[in-house]
Chains A and B, each alone.
Chain A
Amino acid sequence: MLNAIEVTKQFGANRALDKVSISVAPGDIYCLLGANGAGKTTLVNLFLNFLQPTSGTVQVGKLDVLHHPLETKRLLAYIPEQVTLYGVLSGLENLAFFSSLATGDRLSRPRLLELLEAAGLPRRAADDKVETYSKGMRQKVGIAIALAKNAKALLLDEPTSGLDPSAASEFSELLVKASNDRVAVLTTTHDLFHAKQTGTRIGIMKHGCLVEELRSEDISHADLEALYLKHMKS
Chain B
Amino acid sequence: MFAIIAAKDLRELTRDGRLLWAGVLVVVLMLTAIAVGWNRHSQVSNERSAGQALDYDAWLGQGYRHPHNAAEQGMHVFKPEPPLAIVDPGIEPFVGSTVWLQAHRQSELKFRPAQDATGLQRFGTLSPAWVLQVLIPLLVIVIGFNAMSGERERGTLRQLLSLGVPVRSLLLGKALGLASCVAIVIAPAGLVLAIIAVASLSPGERLDAVYRLTWLVAGYALYLGFFIFLTLAVSALVRSSRAALVLLLGFWVAATLIAPRSASEAANMLYPTPSRLEFDQHLAHDMGAAAGESWLANFGVRTQWDPSLPLSKWGAALKVDDEAGYGVLDKNFGSLWDTFERQQRAQQWIGLVAPVVALRGFSMGLAGTDFAQHRDFSTAAEAQRRTIQDIISKDLIEHADPLGNAHFTYKAGPELWVTVPRFNYQLPPVSFALAHHWPSLALLAVMFCLSVALARYAFSRPLMR
Contact A80 B158 (CB under 8 A): yes
Closest B residue to A142 by beta carbon equals B159
Contact B162 A84 (CB under 8 A): no
Contact B165 A101 (CB under 8 A): yes
Q: What's the minimum C-beta distance from A99 to chain B, rounded to whole angstroms?
A: 9
Q: Quick one: CB contact mask for B142-182 with A, threshold 8 Å, 1 for yes?
A: 00000000000011101111111110000000000000000
Contact A84 B158 (CB under 8 A): yes
Quick check: is B253 within 8 A (CB to CB) of the other chain?
Answer: no
Quick check: is A100 within 8 A (CB to CB) of the other chain?
Answer: yes
Quick check: is A185 within 8 A (CB to CB) of the other chain?
Answer: no
Task: Among A50, A70, A89, A93, point to the contact of B164 (Cβ < 8 A).
Answer: A70
Instruction: Give the distance in Å from the alpha carbon of A195 to the alpha carbon of B45 in the complex.
Output: 82
Contact A85 B162 (CB under 8 A): no
Q: Which residues in B have their C-beta under 8 angstroms from that of A70? A: 164, 166
Contact A101 B162 (CB under 8 A): no
Q: What's the minimum C-beta distance from A162 to chain B, rounded to whole angstroms?
A: 15
Q: Which residues between 50 and 108 of chain B lie within 8 Å of chain A, taking CB atoms?
A: none
Contact B161 A48 (CB under 8 A): yes
Q: Known contacts A70-B164, A93-B11, A101-B165; decide if A85 and B156 are in contact (CB<8 Å).
A: yes
Q: Known contacts A89-B12, A104-B1; decide if A78 and B165 are in contact (CB<8 Å).
A: no
Quick check: is A83 within 8 A (CB to CB) of the other chain?
Answer: yes
Q: Quick one: CB contact mask for A72-85 with B, threshold 8 Å, 1 for yes?
A: 11101110101111
Chain B contact surface mostly: helix
Q: Which residues in A have their C-beta under 8 angstroms from that of B366? A: none
Quick check: is A206 within 8 A (CB to CB) of the other chain?
Answer: no
Quick check: is B455 within 8 A (CB to CB) of the other chain?
Answer: no
Instruction: Give the distance in Å from the alpha carbon of A142 to the alpha carbon of B8 in the complex.
Output: 17
Q: What's the minimum C-beta distance from B280 to chain A, rounded to whole angstroms?
A: 65
Quick check: is B187 within 8 A (CB to CB) of the other chain?
Answer: no
Q: Quick one: CB contact mask for B222-248 with A, threshold 8 Å, 1 for yes?
A: 000000000000000000000000000
Quick check: is A86 within 8 A (CB to CB) of the other chain?
Answer: yes
Q: Which residues in A have their C-beta under 8 angstroms from that of B163? A: 73-74, 98, 101-102, 149
Q: Known contacts A50-B464, A84-B154, A84-B155; decide if A78 and B8 are in contact (CB<8 Å).
A: no
Task: Among A77, A97, A155, point to the contact of B8 (Cβ < 8 A).
Answer: A97
Quick check: is A211 within 8 A (CB to CB) of the other chain?
Answer: no
Quick check: is B296 within 8 A (CB to CB) of the other chain?
Answer: no
Q: Which residues in B have their C-beta under 8 angstroms from that of A83? A: 159
What class of interface size applies to chain B in its complex with A?
20 to 34
Q: Quick one: CB contact mask for B33-56 with A, threshold 8 Å, 1 for yes?
A: 000000000000000000000000
Quick check: is A88 within 8 A (CB to CB) of the other chain?
Answer: yes
Q: What's the minimum C-beta distance from A149 to chain B, rounded to whole angstroms?
A: 7
Q: Which residues in A have their C-beta under 8 angstroms from that of B161? A: 48, 50, 73
Closest A residue to B173 by beta carbon equals A101
Instruction: Give the distance in Å from the alpha carbon of A171 to the alpha carbon of B154 in the complex.
Output: 23
Contact A86 B155 (CB under 8 A): no
Q: Known contacts A89-B15, A101-B4, A104-B1; decide if A84 and B156 are in contact (CB<8 Å).
A: yes
Instruction: Give the distance in Å from the alpha carbon of A50 to the alpha carbon of B158 in the complex.
Output: 8
Q: Quick one: CB contact mask for A140-157 with B, threshold 8 Å, 1 for yes?
A: 001001000100000100
Contact A73 B164 (CB under 8 A): yes
Contact B1 A78 (CB under 8 A): no
Q: Known contacts A48-B161, A70-B164, A88-B15; decide if A80 and B155 are in contact (CB<8 Å).
A: yes
Q: Quick one: CB contact mask for A54-95 with B, threshold 8 Å, 1 for yes?
A: 000000000000000111111011101011111011000100
Instruction: Give the distance in Å from the alpha carbon of A101 to the alpha carbon of B464 in the complex.
Output: 19
Quick check: is B5 within 8 A (CB to CB) of the other chain?
Answer: yes
Contact B162 A48 (CB under 8 A): yes
Q: Which residues between 77 and 132 of chain A lie within 8 Å of chain B, taking CB atoms?
A: 77-78, 80, 82-86, 88-89, 93, 97-98, 100-102, 104
Q: What's the minimum C-beta distance from A97 to chain B, rounded to whole angstroms?
A: 5
Sampled A-B contacts (28; CB under 8 Å): A45-B464, A48-B162, A50-B161, A50-B464, A70-B166, A72-B164, A73-B161, A73-B162, A73-B164, A74-B164, A76-B164, A77-B162, A78-B159, A78-B162, A80-B158, A80-B159, A82-B155, A83-B159, A84-B155, A84-B159, A86-B156, A88-B16, A89-B8, A98-B160, A101-B5, A102-B163, A149-B163, A155-B162
